[in-house]
Amino acid sequence: MSEPLAFRMRPTTLDDIVGQDAIIGKSTALYKMIHNGHVPSMLLFGEPGTGKTSLATAIAGTAKLPFYPLNATTSTKKDVAHVVNEADYYGQVILFLDEIHRFTKLQQDALLPHVENGKIILIGATTENPFHSVNPAIRSRCGDIVELSRLTTEDSKQLLERALHDKKRGLGQEAFTITEEQCDKLAVAANGDARRALTLLESVFYAGDVIDGVTVATDEAIEHLSQRIGVYGDNKGSHFYNLLSALQKSVRGSDTDAALYYLAHLLEIGDIVAVNRRLVVMAYEDIGLANLAIGPQVIACVQAAERLGMPEARIPLANAVIAMCLSSKSNSAYKAIDKATHAIHSGHVGDIPKHLRDSHYEGAAKLGHVDYLYPHNTPLGTFGGWVAQQYLPEAIENLHFYEPVIAGEEQRFAKIYQGLQQKSQPKS
């Protein structure tokens, strides 16, 4: 057969789908709607190999509607017009649009009225978060946004077994032997990617040893073909930003193992610059005043990583991640600056007190830029110089932005801050 095994084994109805029970299992509303003859326009969102194309094909097969697949990167206005003509002829068709986030405005203008009147059922597929990447005009016409998950190892194993026994589309007619243990290895190597699982099986078949007319799968071929298990994605898509987010949230949650896992995956993808930038942000956003030493430490680790390059760069970066995970944490500075910024944008502003304005020029006194009290002239215990005077504009003098977190080094800052606040209060 000339078509790849993954193409031949593509599901023809919803009952052929492996995995995704939460969204298309027999008890789901979507499954029941389609079996009852109602197919809504929808967006299928998920990582490569999660079965977006397979699900669209299965929906069309179950609904018994004409199915027209297009790719948004290569299709033209003429292609869209052809689908529109077919919809006029058949009454209703399914248009499967892969990489829908690349759909042009010209194509949208030609298609959207026909989606609205129901002649065209649009099933769009994307690896990117549709709330970020798909035009609102398209989103508003797709009632369902369905996020597909990666297959479990057991799902992949079921897929492999089906392909091995299918005599019409799979390898069931081939004289081929593969052990259950070897199938398990392929299921693990697929890393939840249905296409990869079937492609690996087909490659192992063609790389096998032929003994007395029987092809025998070899451990060597499986080992060779299964390299870089689990690494997928690049530094431009939603998955990459999800990894960065998961790294920061794991550090914030002090889960060292999870943080190292996400760091390792990010470094395998290869964008060390983005990783370094995120680590420095985390040091000041999530550790902050609770451990002021962590900022310079993380910067030193980042600089070492930049000089070393991969693979050695992973070592100082792992040091930085572990140190941040196990450090005391405070987001008080991050919250305080955001609160101050929000106050400004909300109109809470006022004139700078005159005694704080620039007075280093002749004539400043005539403008009233006088009476500033120099704090260093008034020692306050071991703290240094301090004097009570108004610094905020009069219109917002009662606003407060900084709220100390009682953690790590910030405990000392909190005591000082609270003490100064008390001294600043007018005496009754």
Residue 309 maps to which CATH number? 1.20.272.10
Do residues 101 and 176 both lie within one domain?
no
**CATH number of the domain where residue 28 is located:** 3.40.50.300
Do residues 256 and 312 both lie within one domain?
yes
Does 289 reside within a domain? yes
% of residues, the chain, pLDDT over 70: 96
Vertex 54 angle, CA 48 and 60, to 5° = 145
d(CA 278, CA 282) in angstroms, rounded, equals 6
The pLDDT score that the predictor gives to residue 284 is: 96
The pLDDT score that the predictor gives to residue 306 is: 93
Do residues 247 and 190 both lie within one domain?
no
Mean pLDDT of 85-99: 91
Does 408 reside within a domain? yes
Mean pLDDT of 230-241: 65
Of the pLDDT bands very low, low, confident and very high (cuts 50, 70, 90), residue 233 is: low
Residue 1 has pLDDT above 60, yes or no: no
Residue 427 has pLDDT above 70, yes or no: no
Do residues 38 and 137 both lie within one domain?
yes
Higher pLDDT, 181 or 19: 181
Residue 23 has pLDDT above 90, yes or no: no
Mean pLDDT of 255-262: 94
The pLDDT score that the predictor gives to residue 316 is: 96
The pLDDT score that the predictor gives to residue 428 is: 52
Q: Name the range with the highest mean pLDDT among 39-48, 68-77, 200-209.
A: 200-209
Strand residues in 72-231 grouped as ranges (E): 93-98, 120-126, 144-147, 176-177, 209-211, 214-216
**CATH number of the domain where residue 216 is located:** 1.10.8.60
The pLDDT score that the predictor gives to residue 426 is: 67
d(CA 156, CA 158) in angstroms, rounded, equals 5
Pairing of strands 214-216, 209-211: antiparallel
* Count: domains in the chain: 4
Q: Is the dihedral of CA 285, 287, 291, 297 positive or negative?
A: negative
The region of weakest confidence among 1-5, 91-95, 259-263, 394-398 is: 1-5
Determine if the peptide bond prior to 375 is cis (ω within 30°): no
- Which residue, 95, 117, 147, sits at the end of a domain? 147
Does 109 reside within a domain? yes
Do residues 246 and 264 both lie within one domain?
yes
Do residues 301 and 412 both lie within one domain?
no
The pLDDT score that the predictor gives to residue 234 is: 53
Mean pLDDT of 208-223: 91
Q: Which domain holds residue 360?
A: 353-424
The pLDDT score that the predictor gives to residue 139 is: 84
Does 55 reside within a domain? yes
Residue 104 has pLDDT above 80, yes or no: no
d(CA 299, CA 326) in angstroms, rounded, equals 17
- Which residue, 309, 325, 341, sits at the end of a domain? 325
Of the pLDDT bands very low, low, confident and very high (cuts 50, 70, 90), residue 402 is: very high
Q: How far is the CA of 289 from the CAs of 272, 330, 332, 337, in angstroms?
A: 26, 6, 7, 13
Residue 71 has pLDDT above 60, yes or no: yes
Mean pLDDT of 193-198: 89
Do residues 97 and 189 both lie within one domain?
no
The pLDDT score that the predictor gives to residue 205 is: 94
Do residues 263 and 217 both lie within one domain?
no
Mean pLDDT of 335-346: 94
Does 1 reside within a domain? no
Is pTM beyond 0.85? Reply is no
> What does the DSSP 8-state code read for residue 95?
E
pLDDT digits 0-9 by tens, 124-157: 998 888 888 788 888 888 878 888 888 889 999 9
Residue 243 has pLDDT above 60, yes or no: yes
Do residues 87 and 183 both lie within one domain?
no
The region of weakest confidence among 129-133, 333-337, 401-405 is: 129-133
Residue 228 has pLDDT above 60, yes or no: no
Does 232 reside within a domain? no
Residue 236 has pLDDT above 70, yes or no: no
**CATH number of the domain where residue 408 is located:** 1.10.3710
Do residues 141 and 194 both lie within one domain?
no
The answer to whether 151 touches 192, Cβ cutoff 8 Å, is yes
The pLDDT score that the predictor gives to residue 252 is: 96
Of the pLDDT bands very low, low, confident and very high (cuts 50, 70, 90), residue 424 is: confident
Longest dimension (CA), the chain: 107
Burial of 418 (0-12, 13-18, 19+ CB in 10 A): exposed
* Residue 51 identity (one-letter amino acid): G
